[in-house]
Structure formats: structure tokens, C-alpha cells
């Protein structure tokens, strides 16, 4: 019996490698990787929608595009001269605007913004502190920014930074540390924060001391954590870093300032591009860690604070709030197609805080958003004489 001859099967083209972005991270729209040998075209799709070709240099491909302000899945398809195709996916990836790509800026005071912020503060019935800064131009304003407030859950950001520094990589989804990490930040779970402190140092006191040491190593001298959480609940003038009204706080507990919280968020923003002090920490805190932490903050659902009046499409508020009976704070990064800014609002009332604190945070963020988008418009068009700074 003669067997029919079958030609050997052609090898299947391997899928392309995707170097950036990575899953469970934010992305400013940079996509790059390595294509299989013989690739002539690299197609890019976002949630199934074709978004163009990547640029090929040898086998390396890259492109930059604007991603939606939400979780997406990116598909890269490599096509060779014979029309053979292979694909790879990456997701979830949270899109941030290309205009907000991190870079170093020099802080300077926006006097008009300072006056308007002061008017909001004067109308608030308690003690407050504010720090806001545009991360594109460096312009900003502040009031009482070095005063120390009881930090409440805002300092869980410090625990998160220390966990990632020690862990040597993002916590795996569903892992012990991964579940605690999500519960601590997304749901502000105090028991999860305590468990992570124990994981770090063997006890809440040892773990919190480790967190404080790292914060101080970053230059955040106004921040301090002692123990666990209770279960239940230039040629221009510098942005002023003063203590104008000091609220009461327990110096043996947890405290921080608007200035320190603002710097934590700015460090995360710059760290996402591999810049700044965070990625220089002893141990291992990488740009990937910063992008993962920002991705986690993007999934916090704690509305009515900094995001209270920022409901426009394409605006993302990545924030962490904290409160107890006498203090109520919110701090975060606000991203839009024009760029990004950091905003911190801290409040204290001896008789108890309430919705007025959240309203103040919302008004400050909205005022900053309107002011900074106006600055961007002037910066981009002033050379043509069409727009003027108001």
C-alpha cells in the first residue's frame, strides 16, 4: 500500500511580544514591542477598534496614540509578506492622556489662583489646607500646606508604596498580598492595611515604622505612621509652604500635610515614567510599580470629593481619601486631554466634619481644572497672538 505524500506543515508564526503597556497598569499611549521575523505590518486595535499601524524598525515596533480614559484591551497583530497573521493581547490597561506624560517642572505661584483658592478657604467653617499644582507648567497655589493633620486613610498610600518596594513586582491577582492591597486602597479596608503592616514588619508597629522610614527617605518629613488602624472606620514666587492654622492632632498616631500628600502623588506620576525619587529607593520600586499603583487608584469608587464637579468625559480622578470624625481629606491626580494636576484638600472641625469638606474639595478641584486648562490654551496659542492669559 502506497501512502499519500503530505508536505510538512509550515510553522505557525509566533505571536508578537508586547513590551509596553503591561496589564493592570496605566498607559499614556506608548505601545512598543517585538514582531516575529518576516513581519511587514503591525496592526493595533483597542477594544476591537482598528487604530492604525505601528512603526517597524527591524523587528521592533512602536506607536503612540490616545487611549480612552478607562480600562481597555490592546491587540497587536503581526502580518508577514504571505498574509499570515499572529496576535497578542494586553489588558486591562487604563488610558491616560498623552499630554500628561510625566516630565520635571519647576513650581511657581499663580497669584490669581491663590486669591481664588483663599476665597474658598475663607468660606469654609473649619481649618483647612490646600495644595494644587499643574504638572505641565508647574504653576500652582497653596494654603496652610505644611500644617499637620491627622492623616487617616490617606497614609495608606505610604503602606502601598512600601509593599511594592519590598515585593519585587506587582502582587499577583488573587494572591494574599494582592487581595489585601486591593481591599486597603479600593475599599479603604483598615484590617487589610493592618495585615499588610504585619506582612511588612511582623507587627503593625514594626510595619508602620518601616513605612515611616521610607516616607522620610523620600523627604516627606511631615508624615508619620505609628501602629495600625482602628477597625470600624525661581524668578517667580514659590508656591507658599506655610503653617497658617495648625489643627489638633495626636503626635503618637498618624499625621501628614497637604504638601507631603501632594508630593506622594507627584512622585507616583513621575515614577510612572521611571523618573524621580520613587524609582531610586533602596530595594526595588519600579516604573511598573508606579503605573500599577496609579491603575489601582483609578479604580477607587469614592465619589463626591475631588471629583464632585469634574464629570466631563475624558477626565480621570485618581485619588485616595481619608476621614475620621474630626478630619476629612482627599488627595489625588486629575488627568484630562490638556494634561494633569495634583490636588490636595485637608479639613478639620473639632465638632465633626461633614459634606462641607467634600464640597470644598470639589470646588478647589474644579477651580484648578478651569484655571489650568486656560493656562494650557494660552501656552499653546500665545505665540500666534490669538489667546491671552486671563
- CB count within 10 Å of CB 181 equals 25
* Residues 213 and 238 placed together within one structural domain of the fold: yes
Q: Does the residue 387 lie in any domain?
A: no
* Residues 253 and 374 placed together within one structural domain of the fold: yes
Mean pLDDT of 21-43: 97
Residue-range definition of the domain harbouring residue 175:
108-381
Q: What angle do CA 247, 249, 250 make, to 5 degrees?
A: 165
> Residue 283: which pLDDT band, with cuts at 50, 70 and 90?
confident
Q: What single DSSP character describes residue 307?
A: T
> How many contiguous H segments (helices) and E segments (strands) does the chain have?
8, 18
* Residues 235 and 360 placed together within one structural domain of the fold: yes
pLDDT attached to residue 390: 25
* Residues 276 and 312 placed together within one structural domain of the fold: yes
Mean pLDDT of 18-27: 98
**365 vs 81: CA distance, rounded Å:** 52
Lowest mean pLDDT among 8-12, 56-60, 260-264: 8-12
Q: Does the residue 7 lie in any domain?
A: no
What's the structural domain count of the chain? 2
If 0-12 CB within 10 Å is exposed, 13-18 middle and 19+ buried, where does residue 296 land?
buried
Mean pLDDT of 107-128: 96
Q: Is 151 helix (H, G, I), strand (E, B) or coil?
A: coil
* Residues 268 and 184 placed together within one structural domain of the fold: yes
Statement: residue 354 has pLDDT above 70? yes
pLDDT attached to residue 13: 87
* Residues 81 and 222 placed together within one structural domain of the fold: no
Q: Does the residue 262 lie in any domain?
A: yes
* Residues 77 and 157 placed together within one structural domain of the fold: no
**319 vs 344: CA distance, rounded Å:** 9
* Residues 34 and 180 placed together within one structural domain of the fold: no
* Residues 78 and 225 placed together within one structural domain of the fold: no
pLDDT attached to residue 299: 96
* Residues 181 and 239 placed together within one structural domain of the fold: yes
pLDDT attached to residue 230: 81
Residue 44 near residue 78 (C-beta atoms within 8 A): no
Mean pLDDT of 117-141: 96
Q: Does the residue 129 lie in any domain?
A: yes
Amino acid at each position: 500500500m502506497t501512502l499519500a505524500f503530505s508536505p510538512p506543515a509550515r510553522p505557525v508564526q509566533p505571536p508578537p511580544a508586547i513590551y509596553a503597556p503591561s496589564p493592570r497598569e496605566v498607559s499614556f499611549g506608548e505601545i512598543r514591542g517585538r514582531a516575529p521575523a518576516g513581519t511587514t505590518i503591525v496592526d493595533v486595535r483597542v477594544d476591537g477598534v482598528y487604530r492604525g499601524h505601528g512603526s517597524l524598525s527591524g523587528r521592533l515596533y512602536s506607536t503612540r496614540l490616545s487611549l480612552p480614559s478607562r480600562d481597555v484591551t490592546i491587540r497587536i497583530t503581526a502580518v508577514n509578506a504571505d498574509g499570515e497573521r499572529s496576535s497578542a493581547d494586553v489588558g486591562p490597561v487604563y488610558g491616560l492622556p498623552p499630554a500628561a506624560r510625566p516630565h520635571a517642572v519647576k513650581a511657581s505661584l499663580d497669584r490669581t489662583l491663590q486669591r481664588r483658592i483663599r476665597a474658598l478657604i475663607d468660606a469654609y467653617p473649619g481649618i483647612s489646607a490646600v495644595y494644587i499644582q499643574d504638572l505641565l507648567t508647574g504653576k500652582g497655589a497653596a494654603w496652610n500646606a505644611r500644617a499637620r493633620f491627622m492623616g487617616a486613610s490617606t497614609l495608606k498610600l505610604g503602606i502601598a508604596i512600601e509593599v511594592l518596594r519590598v515585593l519585587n513586582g506587582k502582587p499577583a491577582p488573587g494572591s494574599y498580598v494582592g487581595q489585601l492591597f486591593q481591599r486597603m486602597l479600593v475599599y479603604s479596608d483598615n484590617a487589610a492595611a493592618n495585615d499588610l503592616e504585619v506582612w511588612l514588619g511582623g507587627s503593625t508597629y514594626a510595619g508602620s515604622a518601616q513605612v515611616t522610614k521610607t516616607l522620610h527617605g523620600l523627604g516627606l518629613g511631615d508624615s508619620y505612621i505609628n501602629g495600625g488602624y482602628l477597625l470600624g472606620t525661581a524668578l517667580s514666587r514659590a508656591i507658599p509652604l506655610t503653617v497658617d492654622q495648625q489643627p489638633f492632632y495626636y503626635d503618637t498616631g498618624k499625621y501628614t500635610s497637604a504638601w507631603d500628600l501632594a508630593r506622594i502623588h507627584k512622585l507616583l506620576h513621575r515614577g510612572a515614567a521611571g523618573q524621580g525619587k520613587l524609582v531610586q529607593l533602596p530595594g526595588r520600586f519600579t516604573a511598573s510599580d508606579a503605573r500599577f499603583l496609579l491603575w489601582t487608584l483609578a479604580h477607587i469608587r469614592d465619589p463626591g470629593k475631588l471629583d464632585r464637579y469634574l464629570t466631563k468625559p475624558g477626565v480621570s480622578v485618581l485619588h485616595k481619601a481619608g476621614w475620621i470624625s474630626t478630619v476629612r481629606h482627599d488627595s489625588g491626580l486629575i488627568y484630562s486631554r490638556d494634561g494633569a494636576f495634583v490636588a490636595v484638600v485637608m479639613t478639620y472641625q473639632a465638632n465633626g466634619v461633614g459634606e462641607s469638606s467634600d464640597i470644598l474639595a470639589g470646588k478647589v478641584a474644579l477651580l484648578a481644572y478651569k484655571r489650568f486648562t486656560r493656562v494650557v490654551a494660552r501656552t499653546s496659542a500665545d505665540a500666534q497672538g490669538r489667546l491671552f492669559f486671563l
